[in-house]
Amino acid sequence: MDEEEAMISMQQPHLYLIFDDWECGYSFRKVDLPSRAPALIPEGIARGGATCLPPPFFRLQAQRGLPYYFTASGSKIWSLHPNEEGKSLDSGGSCFDVHAETFAFVPRHTDQPKPVYFPIGNDKLVTLGCLSIQCLDIGVKKHPTGVALSWSDPLDVPVDSMDIISHAVFPDGRTIFVSVGFVAAECTYSFHLSDDGGSLRMCKHQGEIGLSLYREKLGHICSCDLASAATSQRRPDVKYTEDHLFTMGPDETHVGATLVYMGHESKICLVECMINVFNDRYGGPYSFEKENTDQEKTDDYMLRLTTFSLEYSSDGDLTTGHRRVRYYKMPKNVSRRVCQYPVAFWM
């Protein structure tokens, strides 16, 4: 490990939040989540307890309203946004290292409407799009002769990222599980990265597993035995937390959320966007249908950060341990899409 890598490894991790709150793109904010955060706050007092987020420390110019094109690996945040319609200049993607504070341009993958990314270790990035999958070797450093990063040729697959409802990387670090949902049924596929890391191949159709199950208990965390899913086409046994983690306050309503793994002791942060149910602007209960899509105002939106640790009780039940909650005011002018799909990384 060289001196720079040693310094980066000693960095205290933070929660990084990304919002498209300026006219040309996105702002990055860094939030400290110490273990001695405020205890669980009673529901319904979010507006009174909300504080302002830290100011942006970095801004990125990219097409707004597209949270799907962000991903992260190690200490790097990747932006692989498509070229804006009507603009001929294609500057590719970008990569920002939050610890080393370095920025680099990187190649974009094949244009996809809503890609799903899979960081594999610290040296591979896989993207699954519309009926194709690609891999980027991000461990390759630029050669003095000018050889740089490049995506593998797209591999045709029978999966459309628009249909994906859950996904996971197997503990072997090379196998990807993807559950897709259709009108009639759900099924799961798996893909495998070759041992030399040079290619992706279709592994097999795992059958009618349906790993998502998100429709059954919305707002609850669930777990299943991924190993059993790899060896059987039977739907694995699923455990749910008894706790409902989305806001249930009488004056609050859930808008969107992202789960962020904090890397130790099974600690998780739920980054949730919410809004006051009743306010003068809507004249009644909030709904997306009442939003003016030409002028997406998010002044009434808030962030609710809930940290907890997933544990199994002595009876084998899945629990969330002691929860801690923080409320923040959402920056102004954030697009509705980013509120539905908050962008957050722990690094």
- pLDDT per residue as tens digits for the range 32-57: 987 655 555 555 455 566 889 999 99
High-pLDDT (> 70) share of the chain, %: 71
**Which fold would CATH assign to domain 13-346?**
Neuraminidase (2.120.10)
User: For the residues 302-321, what does the mean pLDDT come to?
Assistant: 89
Task: Determine the pLDDT at residue 261.
Answer: 92
Half-sphere exposure of residue 293: CA atoms within 13 angstroms, side-chain side: 4
User: For the residues 298-304, what does the mean pLDDT come to?
Assistant: 79
Is the separation of the CB atoms in 80 and 115 below 8 Å? Answer: yes
Task: Determine the pLDDT at residue 86.
Answer: 58
Strands (E), 14-87: 15-22, 25-31, 51-52, 58-61, 70-73, 76-79
Mapped onto helix, strand or coil, the DSSP state of residue 5 is helix
Question: Which two tokens mark 10?
Answer: 């000693």
Is the separation of the CB atoms in 316 and 238 below 8 Å? Answer: no
User: For the residues 55-82, what does the mean pLDDT come to?
Assistant: 95
Amino acid at 87: K
- Residues 117-150 have pLDDT tens digits of 999 877 889 999 988 999 998 876 655 554 568 8
pLDDT for 65 beyond 80? yes
Task: Determine the pLDDT at residue 280.
Answer: 44
pLDDT for 160 beyond 70? yes
Give every CB contact of residue 273 below 8 A, 6+ residues apart in sequence: 254, 255, 256, 257, 301, 302, 303, 304, 330, 339, 340, 342
- Residues 224-266 have pLDDT tens digits of 777 666 666 667 778 888 888 888 777 778 899 999 999 777 8
**φ, ψ of residue 303 in degrees (nearest 5):** -110, 140
pLDDT: is 150 or 299 the higher one?
150
Please report, for the chain, the start and end positions of each structural domain, with discontinuous segments joined by +.
13-346
- The string of DSSP letters for 106-168 reads E---S--SS-EEEEETTTEEEEE-EEEEEEEETTPPPPTTS----BPPPEEEEEEGGGEEEEE
What do you get for the CA distance between the two ends of the chain, in Å?
19
Instruction: State the average pLDDT for the chain.
Output: 79
High-pLDDT (> 90) share of the chain, %: 32
User: For the residues 195-218, what does the mean pLDDT come to?
Assistant: 63
C-alpha to C-alpha distance for 63 and 81, rounded to whole angstroms = 7
**C-alpha pair distances (Å), 241 with each of 234, 268, 314, 343:** 22, 13, 14, 24
- Structure confidence at residue 293 as a pLDDT band (50, 70, 90): very low
